[in-house]
Amino acid sequence: MDNFQIETAQNITIQHNVAPLSTRIGAFLIDMLIIGAYYTLILLVLNALGYMPTENIYVFYTLLSLPVFFYSLLFETLMNGQTPGKFFNKIRVVKIDGSKPTFGSFLIRWVLRIIDITLASGSIALLTILLNGKGQRLGDIAAGTAVISERKTVSINSTLAVDIPEEYIPTFPQVTMLSDKDIQTIKELYLKAKRKGNHNTIIKLHKKIIEITGINSELKPIDLIDIVIKDYNYFTQQM
């Protein structure tokens, strides 16, 4: 899985996992099924009511198609970068500069979707994503966005323990003031924040750690938290 890093205004480096192309296609197909179900439901309801428009039929069907026309723009705006298909496949649209996507970002993606997907049957989007190192289609490049995966990977990082080299030298003995519960909470929030690019959470964790331990360091918040987790594991393994 490809990944890319961003550095926020708070000097926090965030690594994002680019959503695999197969996952994005799967999300697209789910959205198409939902749209198909919408049309089917509308037709069934109209037939049950015995209502069939005879005049201004094109206006009638245009109005029915408006929710479909604005489908991706509406859901990505209301669901913070996700459509139902993206939600089920655990992928999301994010800004590559670390900021939160705005309505303008989603609007640009939606407008260029006509070129990326509709007119070219998805071929332009497919080619651009394959060639771009950040998994971006034209709409993403123009909007400064990318589609990332939020799926968790099962590894030693999912537990309290972390890999520490034999020659590891701890930096902050103050970490022993933390409890197992504290460090587990810190680690879970830290990994989740890195995965989602939530630098505000990292800043809050940094402040809380300093408040509890009294650590005084010029390290970046993300680097300090990483060292605190390793140091805690080092000291507890010596007990």
Mean pLDDT of the chain: 83
Q: Please say if the pLDDT value at position 193 is more than 80.
A: yes
- Report the C-alpha gap between 46 and 59 in whole angstroms: 16
Note the pLDDT of residue 154. 46
- Report the C-alpha gap between 31 and 35 in whole angstroms: 6
Q: Please say if the pLDDT value at position 157 is more than 60.
A: no
Residues 6+ apart with CB under 8 A from 88: 27, 30
pLDDT per position as a tens digit, 80-127? 999 999 999 999 999 887 778 999 999 999 999 988 888 888 888 889
Note the pLDDT of residue 6. 59
Residues 6+ apart with CB under 8 A from 158: 152
Among 28-32, 155-159, 172-176, 226-230, the range scoring the smallest mean pLDDT is: 155-159
> In this predicted model, which residue has the larger pLDDT, 136 or 9?
136
Predicted confidence band of residue 156 (pLDDT cuts 50, 70, 90): very low
- Report the C-alpha gap between 201 and 192 in whole angstroms: 9
User: What does each C-alpha distance from 189 to 75, 88, 165, 184, 219 come to in angstroms?
Assistant: 27, 22, 24, 9, 19
Neighbours of 219 (CB within 10 A): 15
Question: Which range has the top average pLDDT, 16-20, 68-72, 117-121, 229-233?
Answer: 68-72
Average pLDDT over residues 133-137: 84
Could you tell me if 144 and 95 are in contact, meaning their C-beta atoms sit under 8 angstroms apart?
yes
Closest-CA residue to 25 (of 121, 151, 143): 121
Neighbours of 126 (CB within 10 A): 17
Helices 71-78 and 21-48: angle between axes, nearest 10 degrees: 110
Tokens of 51: 């209502």
Q: Which residues pair with 15 in a beta bridge?
A: 5
First to last CA, the chain: 38
Closest-CA residue to 90 (of 195, 193, 4): 195
Predicted confidence band of residue 162 (pLDDT cuts 50, 70, 90): low
- Report the C-alpha gap between 229 and 145 in whole angstroms: 31
Predicted confidence band of residue 158 (pLDDT cuts 50, 70, 90): very low
- Report the C-alpha gap between 228 and 206 in whole angstroms: 10
The domain ranges of the chain are 3-149, 156-237
Note the pLDDT of residue 230. 87
- Report the C-alpha gap between 81 and 33 in whole angstroms: 19
Predicted confidence band of residue 9 (pLDDT cuts 50, 70, 90): low
